Structure formats: C-alpha cells, structure tokens
Structure 1
Amino acid sequence: MNRAWTADEVLALPVVVDLVTAGSVLGMGRSASYEMARRGEFPVPVLKVGHRYRVVSARLRELVGIHDQPTPVTRPATPFRPASGL
C-alpha cells in the first residue's frame, strides 16, 4: 500500500525524481508506474536517461494541484521622508 504524501513533502522533492517516487506521489505502485511509462501512458511526461526513468517534480506538483509558493520579499518599514531643499 502506498503512503499518502503531504503537500510539504511534495514541495520538498528535488527538481527531478525517479519513476517510483513519482508514481508513489500519484498513489501508484512500482509495477504500474513502470508499465505506464513503458506504454507512454504515465500521467506526466517521463524522461528516459539511459536505462532509467525520471520525472520533473514541477509537473507532478501541477498535476496534483500543489503550486510553488513564492518567497515573499520583505522590506524594512521606513517612513516616507521627502527630500529637503526641492
């Protein structure tokens, strides 16, 4: 039985993951993941690197509806002071 992935775990994945990890995120087992990849039916694009299958994590996040949260830019609060002598 596959475990359930949290949004934080999915966001923490590296840029590219192996096929078994990608399948697990989608609730699929190892055999089903490889079979779908071989048939070209895996739910997201699969990269074949040598004899290995890889999946771009951003595509997984898009599919399951988890979007990267941009890091907010914080600026120190400074009061507005008009320049003198203008």
Structure 2
Amino acid sequence: MTGRPHTPLTFREVLDLPVSVDLRTAARAYGMCLATAYRLVALGTFPCETVRVGRRHRVLTARLLASLGIEERPARAWP
C-alpha cells in the first residue's frame, strides 16, 4: 500500500494502548500488514472482534489483549 515497513508493537506499547485502537494498530500488534488485516476483516477471520464505526474499523483493546493471550495488565509496564 504505502511501501512503509510495518513493525510489530513491543510488549510495552501493547500494554500502553488506549481503550480502543484503529485497525492499523491492531494489525501491528499481530505483526501483520494493514492489507492483510482488511482482508481478514472482510473474510470474518480477523483474530479478534472488530467494530465498524462509519467506514473505519476499531478494535477494543481488552479483546485484542485477550486474543494475544494477555489476560491481565500488570500494574506497571517494564522498560
């Protein structure tokens, strides 16, 4: 799409996410490119539930963390 490399989110970045994130951020958390994320959403096979807001897709961070196997946020994200 844009030719920019996609870099996965670090553990600390994942733990610092707001209540919901855009599809690009969720895709980075899974280590996939945005085109793959849109394709999976269209097929209904994205790793967690997405919410359509107008023309955009949002992902609740709690659902994202659960699908990544992170059940609880630690009190402090370590460096």
TM-score range, shorter chain: 0.7 to 0.9
Match for residue 53 of structure 2? 49
Q: Which has the larger radius of gyration?
A: 1
C-alpha RMSD of the superposition: 1.6
Match for residue 68 of structure 1? 73
Q: Which runs of 5+ in 1 are unaligned?
A: 72-86
Q: Indicate the SS of the match to 1:55.
A: strand
Match for residue 62 of structure 2? 58
Quote how far apart the aligned CAs of 1:32 are.
0.4
Work out the CA distance in 2 between the residues paired with 1:45 and 1:18: 12
Work out the CA distance in 1 between the residues paired with 2:24 and 2:35: 9
Match of 1:36 among 33, 40, 59: 40
Residue 38 of structure 2 is aligned to residue 7 of structure 1: no
Provide the identity percentage. 39
Q: Indicate the SS of the match to 2:45.
A: coil
Return the TM-score normalized by structure 1. 0.73
Q: Which runs of 5+ in 2 are unaligned?
A: none
Quote how far apart the aligned CAs of 1:35 are.
0.8
Quote how far apart the aligned CAs of 1:70 are.
4.8
Work out the CA distance in 1 between the residues paired with 2:9 and 2:54: 28
Q: How many residues align?
A: 71
Return the TM-score normalized by structure 2. 0.79
